Structure 1
Amino acid sequence: MIYTVTFNPSLDYVVKVDNFAVGEINRTQVENIYPGGKGINVSLVLQNLGLQSVALGFTAGFSGAEIERLLQEAGCRCDFIQAGQGCSRINTKIISDSETALNGQGPQLSKEELQKLFTKLQGLTQDDILVLAGSIPASLPDDIYEQILELLQPACTRVVVDATGDLLLKVLKYKPFLIKPNHEELGEFFGRGPLLNEEDILAAALKLQQQGARNVLVSRGADGAVLLDENGRQHMMASPKGKLVNSVGAGDSMVAGFLAGYLKTQDYEEALRLGVAAGSASAFKDWLATSDDIDKIILQGVTNK
């Protein structure tokens, strides 16, 4: 089974407004409410690709109940821990001539609630995959990812980590199955700006692999993706042509597509192909890609570089 963890899920209230004016009353032309959070996005796209997962994490209050309802409506299994105080955050995104976002804080989480998550994770085995994705709320210790990977070491659970900064770098020693930085984050790891050419990307990915990561998948936006797999093979895939509509969730969709492709074929080349197709399909629409969206991208052709 695939499990995803979202420490701070959200309800994402996304509105489109013509000529948004600060300090004035603005009326929406389009509005939608989505369940949000990187792990949740992975679960939703996996479901769209025909793979079941279990969404773990923390929810609270009326907004937390709505997050779970929307996920279940989409066919996803949930096993969230109910936080005793506060409400799950509500994020507002205003799309007009430019984009404006206002993100909530989310609930305070106690040590007892965190221990409930650890207890659930202790049941994972070597046949399971765990996806840790995104930032963590301020109420949690900053080494929470490390604690989880250390907890799972005896079980040999395959772990996917999609995070920034020390959250990712400090877990490399536990040999995660997959990490997925983007080209900007990859440069930041080594005190540089965005890495734009493939030679630099592969050199940086190799350093992360030498520190412990089994597979390093680097998303490059419109330039596709690069994968350095655990067998030492380099894979480069171009992105299909299309209009960028919404980059939020594209990286999470790539993770879901990669996992779906790998589990179905056991082939890293095909995993990368489906990952790029899923990421691109989500980038070309208002929300996450469906299986039909992804199939259309595959039919157009996702090609090696």
Structure 2
Amino acid sequence: MILTVTANPALDVSYRVDELRPGQTHRIRAVHERAGGKGFNVSRVLYDQGVPTLALGPVGGILGDSLRADLVDSGVPHDLLPVAAATRMTIAVVATEATMFNEPGGPLSTADWLRLAGLVGEYLPTTDVLVCSGSLPLDAPDETYADLVGLAREAGVPTVVDAGGPVLRAAAEAGAAVLKPNAEELAAAVGFDDPLRGARLLKEAGAGAVLVSLGADGTLLVTDEGEWRAAPPYPIAGNPTGAGDAAVAALADGLRRGLPWPDRLALAVTWSAAAVAAPLAGMMDADTLAEIEGKVAVVPL
């Protein structure tokens, strides 16, 4: 199976409005609440595609109860670790584009981090790929994901990490199999804005491969076997909130199945585009998925 770790879960609330007008009162057309956090979104995508997955994460407080109830209702397999820190909330206001408001996560104790690592260790013997995805709570060490990468390597399990800044750099140095930052997260990790140069630097630091999502400019991939760039066959309109999570799900599934790197890149771009066309993170639009499947051009750099 693919095991996902969401270190900083949230209850995601989405408001749909006709137009976002700062300083004005808004009438909300639709409200959606669901268990949020990048790793949970990855597991949702995998589950919907029939890929075996299990989602792990620490939760606490009333919002933690709501998050747990949503995962139960969705059917996504999970094992949530009860902690004292209250689960946070994120709010997306969606008009022509999404405006995000993300609360910080409450700090976890050292004992809770050790319990979470122990929970991951329990499942590694039955895991094909470990995914560590999303931000960290307040005061969490930058090496939090790197420690899980090391734990997985000892068990012979490759890890995909979706993070940014020093957390991403530490994961590279720990030998993560795949890193999946966006351009901003990559720049925060390497200190400059050139995505190709930054991806090469992180690979030289110890990562097996680095995939960088560049929004409208497509996606680039740096590996030992080659370097490529890819983009959807045409622009996809919608909500990009969960696009990166769908790409991570595709990378993990491609790694699990042993697909060639260009095929993994094409799958990541396809799933990411289908997620943009879906209304909520953790979903893919079936029509878009069917329409662009096999049409993503992968070009060597």
TM range (shorter): 0.7 to 0.9
| TM-score (normalizing by structure 1) | 0.87
Task: Output one character per residue of 1:24-59: Cα deviation in whole Å (capped at 9) or x when no partner.
Answer: 543211221122111111111111221121111111
**Which residue of structure 1 lines up, in the alignment, with residue 200 of structure 2?**
206
Measured in 1, the distance between the counterparts of 2:296 and 2:96 equals 32
Partners of 1:188 and 1:5 in 2: CA distance: 22
- Structure 2 unaligned spans of 5+: none
Report how far residue 20 of structure 1 moved. Answer: 4.6
Structure 2 distance, partners of 1:204, 1:216, is 9
TM-score normalised according to structure 2 size = 0.88
Task: Measure how far apart 1:116 and its partner are.
Answer: 1.3
Contact 1:153 1:174 in 2 (8 A): no
1:264-300 CA distances to partner (integer Å, 9 max, x unpaired)?
3532222111110011111123224337246324347
Summarize the Cα distance change of 1:280–1:140 in structure 2 as closer, same or farther, 3 Å threshold. same
Task: Give the counterpart letter for 1:101 in structure 2.
Answer: M
Alignment of 1:79-228 (within 5 A): 79-86=79-86, 88-96=87-95, 99-123=98-122, 124-125=124-125, 128-193=128-193, 195=195, 201=196, 203-228=197-222
Q: Which residue of 1 aligns with 2:263?
A: 270
Per-residue Cα deviation, 1:195-237 (whole angstroms, up to 9, x for no partner): 4xxxxx1x4322221211111111121222122234x222322
Asked if the contact 1:130/1:157 (under 8 Å) is kept, the reply is yes
Deviation at 1:244, TM superposition (A): 2.7
Aligned partners of 2:206 and 2:291: how far apart in 1?
A: 33
Note the residue ranges of structure 1 that are not aligned, 5 or more in a row.
Answer: 196-200
Task: State the one-letter code of the partner of 1:218.
Answer: V
Instruction: Say which is worse superposed, 21-30 or 153-162, in terms of deviation.
Output: 21-30
- Residue 185 of structure 1 aligns to a residue whose secondary structure is helix
Q: Secondary structure at the match of 2:237?
A: coil
2-side partners of 1:114 and 1:30: how far apart?
37
Q: CA deviation at 1:85?
A: 4.4
- Which stretch of the first structure deviates more once superposed, 207-216 or 263-272? 263-272
Q: What is residue 44 of structure 1 aligned with on the other side? A: 44
Question: Residues 68, 216 of structure 1: CA spacing in aligned structure 2 closer, same or farther, 3 A cutoff?
Answer: same
Deviation (angstroms), 1:19: 4.5
Alignment partner of 1:238 is 2:237: no
User: How large is the Cα RMSD of the aligned pairs?
Assistant: 2.4
Q: Percent identity?
A: 31
Aligned with 2:241: secondary structure?
Answer: coil
CA contact (8 A) 2:97 2:238 kept: no
Contact 1:179/1:217 (<8 A) preserved: yes
CA distance in 1, matches of 2:142, 2:68: 26
* Number of positions where the alignment pairs a residue of Structure 1 with one of Structure 2: 297
